[in-house]
Structure 1
Amino acid sequence: MTLVGQSVHLLHGIHPAFVVAVIPTLVILVHLVPWLVDPHGLRSFPGPLVARFSDLWLGRVAQQGHRSQVVHKMHEKYGTFVRIAPNHLSVSDPAALQVVYAHGNGSLKSNFYDAFVSITRGLFNTRDRVAHTRKRKIISHIFSQKNVLEFEPYVKGYVHSLIQQWDRLCADGAKGLQGDDGESGWRGRDGRVWFDCLPWFNYLAFDIIGDLAFGSPFGMIAAAKDSAPVAKSHEQGLSVYGQDISKCETVSIPAIKILNDRGEYSASMGVLPPWLRPIVKRYVPWYNRGSDAVQKLAGLAVAAVAKRLASPAYRSDLLSKLQQGKDEDGNPMGRAELTAEALTQLIAGSDTTSNSSCAITYYLAGHPNVQRKLQKELDEALQSEDDPETSFEVVKNLPYLNAVINEALRLHSTSGIGLPRIVPEGGMTIQGHFFKEGTVLSVPSYTIHRDREVWGDDPEVYRPERWFERDNDAIQRTFNPFSYGPRACVGRNLAVLELLVIISSIFRRYELILEHPDEPLSTREGFLRKPLSCLVGMRRRTT
């Protein structure tokens, strides 16, 4: 029990007036005493005044949805080291990546990740080193380049479905028509169709990962609608594991919205002290709604896995490979663990792909010269290809395509926050500063992706050419879209394949411009930075 919890317990039964007088004093002492004692030696580091005494500053920043940008401004104000919580230092030094997140350094994930646990701990939110090693041995081979290539037909199939929908929109838009397909309104003007492309990227990403992780798509592209079945009861869904799915009651939910709500909730809850989490979860409506989103998203995985395992047909997908995986003792995953890992793949494989695809499209639509240069490269490389969706093998080594994608990932930084790690026994040294065991350190990707020494004097400008002009070694050490070290994104190979196929297929076939070219890409951040919309005008290319 924490000091606050013990104090509240002791005050139980005492006169209310005395409690009202004492509690504020206790709250002040709880925050002031650690600052005075300074157990981790962080008092000398600058940062927002409230953040030096309380986790509430970072909690408020996370809840407002722009953490990466706010922390970046703090680094611009204070320098390389910024104290963003009483025991959390943000470090904007690219070289710190290889210290804080390195293989074998002994650092562990902080209790921030406890807020992301729903069914049971998965590879992403497991903090125990032994448990993580076991899980990674089972899962990592699934995302080898060889296995990922087996998933390419699924990716291309749904890209093809998206292109069919967009071809129809282009044809109707060229006639000056307008309509409302599900949740995506559009109108024809000036020979183009004008619409928000973000929902379509959401549908595409969810259908791809739904098929790979659960054996069937959610049907979002065809319906142009955010909808997926969720189990009413987790226990019931798990109990019919591999049996008749009709025994598992389901209802439809807006899965994309629920996923966004869950990310914002967990990322905000995770920066609060553990003793405060159950209190805000119960009494603060915003957190209460977020908790509901966590349960609904878990229910989606429960229902989808139950349905998939009830089918006797074998298919090569993520879930079948998770079923086949065994730890070093030859033991497969239990059903709850299997469902949790499938949920992890759904979350990681949908949000990142849709966010990144939208951001890349935004930058290309806003830079016509870059778009034309990319299309010239694609036309030359794909002149003998007849299918509208491109092949990974053909486009994977196209230099300008890769630069276009990487430059957008650098600027948008889908995973932009500094991922917190606990300094292990023996401490760490960064730029001559020694940090004691138990200190929490993080390196924000959003900020190091704007380091002028690495990227030049125009880091806020979208300019793919910098990838051919700058020191490649420095760029590779700093570019961090998938994190670094043993806890880096295990699905990186699949993400790269998806982005290369999606972006090359779309811009080979269409020409896009922004409806409001002077407006920045509006975002909101939970664990990931999510575009809120991307209004474009599109028409079929004539080559």
Structure 2
Amino acid sequence: MAAPTVPGTSPLAALEQLPRATVAIGVLGALVIAYLVRVALRWFRLSHVPGPFWAAFSSAWMVKESLKGRQPLAIKQVTDKYGSLARIGPNELVTDDPEVLRRMMAVRSAYTRGPWYDAMRFEPGKTNLFAMRDEAAHTKLRNKMAAGYSGKENESMEGTIDFQISQLVSLIESKYLSSSDSYRPMDFAQKAQYFTLDVISHLAFGHAFGYLVEDGDVYDYIKITNSYIPIMMIVANIPSLANVLHSRPLRGLLPKESDKLGFGAFIGVAKKVVADRFGPSAKSQPDMLGSFIRHGLNQEEASGEALLQVIAGSDTSASTIRAVMLHLLANPVAYRKLQQEIDTFISSGEISSPIKDSEARQMPYLQAVIKEGLRILPPAGGTFFKEVPPGGDTIDGKFIPAGTQIGSSPLGIHHSKKIFGPDSELYRPERWLQADPEHLAQMTNTVDLVFHYGKYQCLGKTVALMEFNKIFVELLRRFDFALANPEHPAHIANAGIWIIEDFWVRITRRGG
């Protein structure tokens, strides 16, 4: 029965006559109902795709696994349990199907980068090639940068890598060689990143930042990024946070070029080098930055991409170098096979000193070792969500509505028993030498996805593979390595990239 009202009063006036507590309870109840309806509609939209129950209601599941440093493993467990297409968030799905990923990233695909990429901006209010979500602008910028990364306009690329390897060798010989009379352990994880940082800074700016010469963390870059990158990946799980952090009131909390150390210092260094290149007396240089400028990048674009080169080009390559060496040392049979192949090629005169990239590509076991390293710990372990285009899509027999975010399960793809065999969890380079041609092609095409594909393929692929083709040969032809702490050889966690620390080794000169 309706509450009586005074004749002639309006409904608003009648509402004002009710106790304030009653009104508050009514409003609160309406808000709760509206929220529950919204949650139910979000859940229902993708309810036909299986996944962890609570993951369908919030991003908390993704954030929790990211905080634990195990998101790629957790996502693999989800696809193993629920199927090739699984739900890990209110509007987020993941797949471990290489064909689906290739279709999403194909040059003419209507899929676009999702809000996940907003967290990959390094400077407030500015984007870069990796974070850019405008497809036309991305393609235009990518085309301007392709020649610089390919080496076509940077003829010193191979020589630069050779020089930095020689710097690493010199550092080992001067400070970290052990013998029967002395023990000088080296943190291989640290030195691997010093090497990749010096390579990419030398290629990008024409001179290295000097990590190997200093044998130290210049600008505290590694210390800061090991803290900053995990935060980026957590923020990527809640993209709205990225926009909040980049808003004007909070921009001051982000790294800035005036910082003396860390990420901000790198921003300052990149901007200074780029500014010099745009100065009135500047001359074109035969390096990556010179190529970018010749192909039309303006000063702001060049600064952003120079910074991206250092971050993206050093951490992922270092991860693979660490992973390969760690698994070789844990697998003495593979270690000796690679060393024997190196010795054989040296004795037959098939490789130079330093080894050429073209020569390394002819060494079958070396190539198997590298591919297996890329597979066992895919260097970029993020989800890289792409957005389903207007009209939706059908995947794994299920209709997926437009606007849905679909990411990858990197360990699910690269540890697939269907593709790599029943022992896919093991590091076994021989699988690449024993496979028939059709199976080998399938494995190769799958591992190539670590560099992404199509319109999103990593421009730094050529540089990374050249580093891998050289560094293991040059180290193992000179030195013997052994784990210093075999019971706990390294600390490994994931924050979008694999953070491998405390990887201590004992190094001796071969034949000594």
TM-score range, shorter chain: 0.7 to 0.9
Q: Alpha-carbon deviation of 1:339?
A: 0.2
1:529 pairs, out of 480, 498, 503, with 498
Partner of 2:73: 69
Q: Larger deviation: 528-537 or 446-455? A: 528-537
Q: Larger deviation: 376-385 or 405-414? A: 376-385
- Contact 2:149 / 2:463 at 8 angstroms: preserved in 1? yes
Q: Alpha-carbon deviation of 1:218?
A: 1.2
Asked whether 1:473 is paired with 2:453, we answer: no
Partner of 2:13: none
Partner of 1:197: 188
- Contact 2:376 / 2:425 at 8 angstroms: preserved in 1? yes
Distance in 1, matches of 2:209 and 2:29, equals: 51
Distance in 2, matches of 1:420 and 1:515, equals: 39
Distance in 2, matches of 1:501 and 1:317, equals: 20
Partner of 1:249: none
Runs of 4+ in 1 over 6 A off after TM superposition: 15-25, 279-284, 289-293
Instruction: Give the aligned length.
Output: 480
Partner of 1:176: 181
Partner of 1:425: 390
Q: % of aligned pairs identical? A: 29
Structure 1: tracts of 5 or more residues without a match: 1-14, 178-187, 228-252, 326-331
Partner of 1:60: 64
Asked whether 1:495 is paired with 2:486, we answer: no
Q: Rate the CA distance shift 1:419–1:279 in 2: closer, same or farther, 3 A.
A: closer
Q: Larger deviation: 106-115 or 531-540? A: 531-540
Q: Rate the CA distance shift 1:155–1:409 in 2: closer, same or farther, 3 A.
A: same
Asked whether 1:223 is paired with 2:214, we answer: yes
Distance in 2, matches of 1:427 and 1:82, equals: 17
Q: Larger deviation: 504-513 or 400-409? A: 504-513
Q: Rate the CA distance shift 1:375–1:143 in 2: closer, same or farther, 3 A.
A: same
Q: Alpha-carbon deviation of 1:273?
A: 4.2
Aligned with 1:320: secondary structure?
helix
TM score, norm. by length of structure 1: 0.80
Distance in 1, matches of 2:174 and 2:181, equals: 13
Answer with 1 or 2: which has the greater Rg: 2
Following superposition of structure 1 onto structure 2, how do residues 62-101 of structure 1 map, counting pairs within 5 Å?
A: 62-101=66-105
Asked whether 1:264 is paired with 2:235, we answer: no
Distance in 2, matches of 1:210 and 1:203, equals: 11
2:304 pairs, out of 304, 329, 340, with 340
1:352 pairs, out of 316, 331, 341, with 316
1:208 pairs, out of 187, 194, 199, with 199
Q: Rate the CA distance shift 1:210–1:260 in 2: closer, same or farther, 3 A.
A: same
Aligned with 1:442: secondary structure?
strand
Give the letter for the 1:316 counterpart: P
Q: Alpha-carbon deviation of 1:515?
A: 2.4
1:130 pairs, out of 131, 136, 152, with 136
TM score, norm. by length of structure 2: 0.85
Structure 2: tracts of 5 or more residues without a match: 1-19
Aligned with 2:143: secondary structure?
helix
Distance in 2, matches of 1:43 and 1:97, equals: 22
Partner of 1:436: 401
Partner of 1:455: 420
- CA deviation profile, 1:320-371 (whole Å, cap 9, x unmatched): 111111xxxxxx2221111001111111111112111111111111112111
- Contact 1:266 / 1:290 at 8 angstroms: preserved in 2? no
Partner of 2:112: 108
- Contact 1:170 / 1:540 at 8 angstroms: preserved in 2? no
Following superposition of structure 1 onto structure 2, how do residues 210-289 of structure 1 map, counting pairs within 5 Å?
A: 210-227=201-218, 253-274=219-240, 278=244
Give the letter for the 2:315 counterpart: D
Q: CA RMSD in A?
A: 3.2
1:159 pairs, out of 157, 165, 182, with 165
- Contact 2:101 / 2:408 at 8 angstroms: preserved in 1? yes
Aligned with 2:399: secondary structure?
strand
Q: Rate the CA distance shift 1:473–1:224 in 2: closer, same or farther, 3 A.
A: same
Q: Alpha-carbon deviation of 1:520?
A: 6.5
Distance in 2, matches of 1:21 and 1:540, equals: 79
Q: Rate the CA distance shift 1:523–1:170 in 2: closer, same or farther, 3 A.
A: closer
- CA deviation profile, 1:167-199 (whole Å, cap 9, x unmatched): 22354x21634xxxxxxxxxx0xxxx4221111
Q: Rate the CA distance shift 1:313–1:132 in 2: closer, same or farther, 3 A.
A: closer
